[in-house]
Amino acid sequence: MDAAIKSIRPAKSNEPKKVETRPAELDPSEFLAAAVRADQPRPSRAEAEQAVLTLLSYIGEDPDREGLLDTPRRVVEAFDELYQGYHQCPAEVLDRTFGETAGYDDFVLVRDIEFTSQCEHHMMPFYGKAHIAYTPVERVVGLSKLARLTDIFARRLQTQEHLTAQIAAAIDEVLKPRGVAVLIEAEHTCMSVRGVAKHGASTFTSRFTGMFRDNPAEQQRFLSLVRGPTR
């Protein structure tokens, strides 16, 4: 009697194949306007300082001892500095452009933009470097504006992935270039000084739009320049 041979391959399905989709676009309100409106209700400075006193008591400290008497004021002032990005408008930073480019048609790259941000999960710092490139159409933006844009988004509670996407989306929306490339490398203190405590571990995130997304050769050229021998 002949043995029946069954195929181990799955049977073909008549269902249509799933098409790989690209990430959803960010809401423009995330990257085109200040995150805090002038009329938005907020706690008073006195209430913020009282919250710091509560945290000091929670960890077991005596808020009345000499070394901590001025700590609530200092912490709130530090917050004003660390999170000033909530009050700044990303679109305004990119608004002024220059047309005297002599027909320049290659990408512009600014690398090694140092930044410090705060993890939104633990409110602990993460810091590193951003590398940003875009291919302009007729007009370019001042190089320092890319660094300022990075700082605006970094000086908010963030994840590295979101920070990367916001920088790319803002440049893409305001400058309308042929493509944008953003690579961020950072160390997260919520991973290096707590939890698994892996000091020196780096996280890399990237976002490509336009010609950088659609042309692997342009992606590779961008990465080669970022990782060039002069670093």
Identify the active-site residue in 25, 114, 121, 220.
Answer: 121
Does the annotation mark 49 as catalytic?
A: no
Identify the active-site residue in 158, 160, 166, 219.
Answer: 160
Identify the active-site residue in 118, 131, 166, 188.
Answer: 188
Identify the active-site residue in 88, 118, 119, 166.
Answer: 119
Task: Map residue 36 onto helix, strand or coil.
Answer: coil
Does the annotation mark 120 as catalytic?
A: yes
Identify the active-site residue in 30, 49, 122, 187.
Answer: 122
Does the annotation mark 89 as catalytic?
A: no
DSSP letter for 27, please.
P
- The sheet carrying 203-209 orders its strands as 157-158, 108-119, 125-135, 179-188, 203-209
Residues in CB range of 36: below 8 A, 6 or more apart: 42, 86, 87
E strands of the chain, at which residues? 97-98, 108-119, 125-135, 140-141, 157-158, 179-188, 203-209
Does the annotation mark 121 as catalytic?
A: yes
DSSP letter for 16, please.
P
Identify the active-site residue in 114, 120, 138, 161.
Answer: 120
Residue 47 structure tokens: 């209430």
Does the annotation mark 84 as catalytic?
A: no
Catalytic residues: 119-122, 160, 188, 190
